[in-house]
């Protein structure tokens, strides 16, 4: 399959300057699969009402079909055809964070979507992305679009069109290149189907910010219990892993350098995932600086690019610094723990 590539500058007038977005939307209406930028990561979009389109998403990604997909919409009015009700706290969250990096779990209206998209669950995760290219594509398609991250399942999520091309060129119908994403980690997922909302996945909107709007929320047990049934995308399987084994080091930088030196003495090449503050300290075969420890949003924005970059090096093992569980740090550590298969060195 030839994969179309459409380059779009999100800072110009999309309506008049980029008829190719209409081409991409037409393909979505033909149940083809298109990668497109959002403010979090690139999504792999398909018609959420079509079994054919959803099957193509799973096939392209190599993703297990028991993992539900997030549905993307352009307007809140679309909720009426998709969900049974919109709870008050969900209304408050939409007012505060939509469009944006927050996915809300609702009770699904029966027959509204392909059962493949929701993995047969009676709930559905929906969000409105905060990206002009994504919103225009969704508007022109005039469909609810299921869109997991546009990468091969298990690999780091894509934050540039190049990342998508590396994984899915000649596999999908098209890629809309809208430049690098901003947030860099996926949306926060919050379940609003019960009286007390529950965060199922930490992401681009912090727990602290959510609680400022609706009060106290809970963290789901599935964040630590891998045997729980997934109500949220990305909760069940290992994700984000680079090719070389990754270890998180819960220790000062001196200990990380000791581990690097030990591996190199044993004839292995070692890499380090670090920050601006510590980059000049390490002596390793490959070093990636993912951002500033004093500004964790920069770490989130560069995290997946960093994990992918190790695949273009020849390292045998990777050691990563850890980050505080505060703000977007929750999302960073959630992704790093998955990428490392929970391998932590104290």
Q: Residue ranges for the binding site for L-threonine? A: 40, 72, 127, 147, 187
Is the bond preceding 99 in cis, omega lying within 30 degrees of 0? yes
Structure tokens at 306: 């960093």
d(CA 129, CA 335): 20
Provide the annotated binding site for ATP: 63, 67, 123, 149, 157, 201, 240
Distance CA 23, CA 141 (A): 10
Exposed/middle/buried for residue 110 (C-beta within 10 Å: 0-12, 13-18, 19+) = exposed
Annotated binding-site residues read: 40, 63, 67, 72, 123, 127, 147, 149, 157, 187, 201, 240
344 exposed, middle or buried (CB, 10 Å; 0-12, 13-18, 19+)? middle
């Amino acid at each position: 399959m030839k994969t179309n590539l459409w380059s779009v500058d999100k800072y110009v007038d999309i309506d008049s300057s980029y008829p190719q977005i209409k081409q991409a939307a037409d393909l979505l209406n033909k149940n083809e699969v298109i990668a497109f930028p959002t403010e979090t990561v690139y999504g792999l979009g398909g018609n959420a009402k079509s079994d054919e389109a959803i099957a193509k998403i799973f096939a392209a990604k190599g993703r297990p079909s028991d993992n539900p997909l997030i549905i993307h919409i352009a307007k809140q009015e679309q909720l009426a055809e998709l969900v049974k009700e919109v709870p008050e706290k969900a209304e408050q969250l939409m007012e505060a964070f939509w469009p944006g990096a927050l996915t809300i779990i609702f009770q699904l209206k029966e027959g509204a979507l392909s059962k493949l998209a929701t993995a047969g669950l009676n709930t559905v995760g929906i969000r409105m992305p905060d990206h002009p290219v994504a919103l225009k594509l969704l508007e022109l398609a005039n469909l609810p679009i299921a869109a997991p991250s546009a990468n091969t399942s298990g690999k780091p999520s894509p934050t540039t069109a190049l990342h998508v091309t590396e994984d899915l060129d000649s596999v999908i119908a098209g890629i809309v290149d809208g430049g690098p994403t901003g947030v860099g980690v996926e949306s926060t997922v919050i379940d609003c189907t019960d009286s007390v909302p529950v965060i199922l996945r930490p992401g681009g909107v912090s727990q602290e910010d959510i609680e400022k709007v609706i009060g106290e929320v809970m963290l789901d047990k599935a964040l630590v219990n891998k045997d729980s049934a997934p109500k949220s995308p990305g909760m069940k399987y290992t994700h984000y892993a680079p090719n070389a084994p990754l270890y998180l080091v819960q220790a000062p930088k001196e200990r990380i350098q000791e581990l690097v030196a030990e591996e190199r003495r044993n004839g292995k090449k070692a890499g380090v995932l670090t920050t601006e503050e510590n980059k000049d300290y390490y002596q390793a075969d490959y070093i990636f600086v993912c951002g500033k420890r004093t500004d964790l949003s920069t770490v989130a924005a560069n995290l997946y690019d960093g994990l992918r970059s190790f695949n273009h090096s020849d390292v045998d093992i990777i050691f990563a610094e850890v980050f505080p569980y505060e703000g977007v740090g929750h999302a960073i550590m959630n992704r790093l723990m998955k990428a490392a298969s929970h391998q932590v060195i104290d």
